[in-house]
């Protein structure tokens, strides 16, 4: 297993922890009618940064690995094979959408006119992004060819 893939596999946990922290902060802000503080802003920023690093690693894996070449060489074969299609098309497309949504969420939350709206926008937009991320991780319970270990084997 190459170092980039190992790092990508480990970093998913930082993305998930920071994403959950962002959601919990937003829920606490809404239910507690709390001010949107610098702490909330920083948690959102750290979630976004972790997604940025994860995307960079993912793009390196995608373009240096077999997925992009397989798609270029024979799209029909890739589209008929569930595991090839997952990594060559579905995983990258949905994770890019989640990444865009995380960036949109950060801007929308910062620009909201009230603290309540900042928390609400954070909850909804970061929440949808986190759901997409969770759905597209190659969890061990997914079908063979897609499933990956919870932690990489060194």
Question: Is 112 within a domain?
Answer: yes
Domain of 132? 3-136
Local confidence band at 142 (pLDDT 50, 70, 90 cut-offs): very high
pLDDT of residue 16: 98
Judge whether residue 121 has pLDDT over 60: yes
Q: What average pLDDT does the segment 130-141 reach?
A: 97
Judge whether residue 154 has pLDDT over 70: no
Prediction pTM value: 0.93
Local confidence band at 90 (pLDDT 50, 70, 90 cut-offs): very high
d(CA 62, CA 69): 9
d(CA 74, CA 6): 28
Local confidence band at 24 (pLDDT 50, 70, 90 cut-offs): very high
Question: Is 114 within a domain?
Answer: yes
Read off the pLDDT of residues 38-68 as tens digits, 9 standing for 90 and up: 999 999 999 999 999 999 999 999 999 888 9
pLDDT of residue 133: 98
Question: Is 143 within a domain?
Answer: no
- Using the Cα atoms of residue 14, residue 5, residue 134 and residue 130 in order, give the sign of their dihedral: positive
Question: Is 49 within a domain?
Answer: yes
Structure tokens at 133: 């991320």
- Averaged confidence pLDDT in the chain: 95
Question: Is 28 within a domain?
Answer: yes
Number of domains in the chain: 1
pLDDT of residue 2: 87
d(CA 143, CA 86): 11
In DSSP notation, 34-56 reads ----HHHHHHHHHHHHHHHHHHH
Judge whether residue 1 has pLDDT over 60: no
Whole-angstrom CA distances from 53 to 25, 60, 94, 103, 147 are 22, 11, 16, 13, 22
Question: Is 9 within a domain?
Answer: yes
Question: Is 141 within a domain?
Answer: no
Judge whether residue 11 has pLDDT over 80: yes
Question: Is 150 within a domain?
Answer: no
């Amino acid at each position: 297993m190459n170092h980039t893939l190992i790092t990508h596999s480990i970093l998913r946990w930082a993305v998930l922890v920071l994403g959950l922290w962002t959601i919990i902060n937003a829920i606490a802000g809404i239910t507690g009618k709390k001010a949107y503080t610098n702490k909330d802003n920083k948690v959102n920023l750290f979630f976004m940064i972790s997604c940025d690093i994860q995307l960079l690693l993912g793009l390196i894996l995608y373009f240096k690995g077999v997925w992009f070449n397989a798609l270029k060489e024979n799209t029909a074969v890739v589209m008929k094979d569930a595991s090839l299609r997952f990594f060559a098309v579905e995983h990258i497309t949905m994770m890019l959408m989640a990444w865009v949504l995380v960036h949109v969420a950060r801007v929308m939350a910062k620009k909201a006119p009230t603290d309540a709206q900042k928390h609400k926008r954070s909850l909804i937009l970061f929440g949808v992004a986190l759901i997409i991320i969770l759905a597209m991780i190659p969890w061990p319970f997914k079908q063979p060819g897609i499933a990956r270990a919870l932690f990489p084997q060194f």
